[in-house]
Amino acid sequence: MKIGVIRGKIIMKTKIFILLIFNLLICDFQFSQSNITYDPGSLIDISSGADVCADAIIINGTYSGGGTICQGPLPVLLSSFSFSVNKNNAALSWITEAELNNSGFDVERRVTLSGVEGWQKIAFVHGNGTSSTPKSYVYEDKKLQTGSYKYRLKQLDYNGIFEYFELESDVVIVPPNIFSLGQNYPNPSNPKSKIGYELPVQMKISIKVYDVTGREVAALVDKMQDAGYYTVEFDGSNLASGVYFYRMNAGNFSDIKKIILIK
C-alpha cells in the first residue's frame, strides 16, 4: 500500500479501480495546476478509504464506491511516512513537502489481532499552517504490548477537510529476549510509583515488597504471565515513610531493587 503518489496532486492510499477507458491528464506539481478528466463511458469505482483529489475533476462516466472525490488545492503534500521500533516503543516520523491551511494530524492506531477492530485516535500533532518548505514531524507511541499494529495519519485543515495517510507496513512489537526488572518511577515514591518488568517467555512471576527487616509488606504480582512488557503500580499509602525493597522472581531469574517512600 502506498502512502501517497504525488504528481499533479493525486493521492492514492488504496488502489483505485477504473473499469473501461479513462484519460488521466496531469499538469504541473504546484498547488493550483492539476486536472483529471474521465472519458465518456468510464465506470469509476473508488474503494472505501481511497481519495482522488485535484484542482479540477471532470467525470463523464459513472462514479461509485465508498471513496471520495475532492476538488481544490491539497492541504498537504506528504513525501514520507516511516517508523522505527525500540523495544516496546514505536516512533512515527513523516515529512511534508508543502502545507496549505494545515491544522494538524490525528495519529490513529489499530491492533491487527483477531477480534480487535477499528481505528483509535491516540494523539494530535499540530501542523504548520501554510508552508512551502519541508516540515518534519515525530510522534512516539510508548509502552506497547507485544503484537502487530497499523498506523495512519488523519490530516485536517482549518475548514474541516481531511485526508488519510497510512503506513505501508505493520509495526511489530516482539517479546523481549531477557528478563528485566526496572527501577520504580518516580523514586522517591510519594506514595505511588510504577515498576516496569519484562518477560521473554511465559512464566509464573512474583514481585513482592519488603521492609528493611525482610518482612513482606506487599505482593504486587503473583501469577502466570505471557511473554511481554508489563507495568505494575506500587502504592505505599498504608506504609510508613522509609526504605523498602522489591524482588522479582521468575523461574531461575531473580532481581531486587530499592524503593524510597516519602509521604
Q: Which CATH number fits domain 90-173: 1.10.10, 1.10.3470, 2.60.40, 1.10.3910?
A: 2.60.40
Residues 6+ positions from 57 with CB-CB distance below 8 Å: 35, 36, 37, 69, 71
Residue of 72, 48, 70, 73 whose CA lies nearest to 59: 70
- Say yes or no: do domains 90-173 and 180-261 share a fold: yes
Q: Where are the domains of the chain?
A: 16-71, 90-173, 180-261
Amino acid at 261: L
How far, in Å, CA of 257 to CA of 185, rounded? 12
pLDDT in tens, the chain (263 residues): 334 333 333 333 333 333 222 233 223 333 434 455 545 555 656 554 445 555 555 555 555 665 555 555 567 999 999 999 999 999 999 999 999 999 999 999 999 865 666 899 999 999 999 999 999 999 999 999 999 999 999 999 998 889 999 999 999 999 999 999 999 999 999 999 999 999 999 999 999 999 999 999 999 999 999 999 999 999 999 999 999 999 999 999 999 999 999 98
- Cα dihedral 188, 192, 196, 199, rounded to 10, equals 130
Q: Which CATH number fits domain 180-261: 2.40.128.90, 3.40.50.300, 2.60.40.1930, 3.30.365.10?
A: 2.60.40.1930
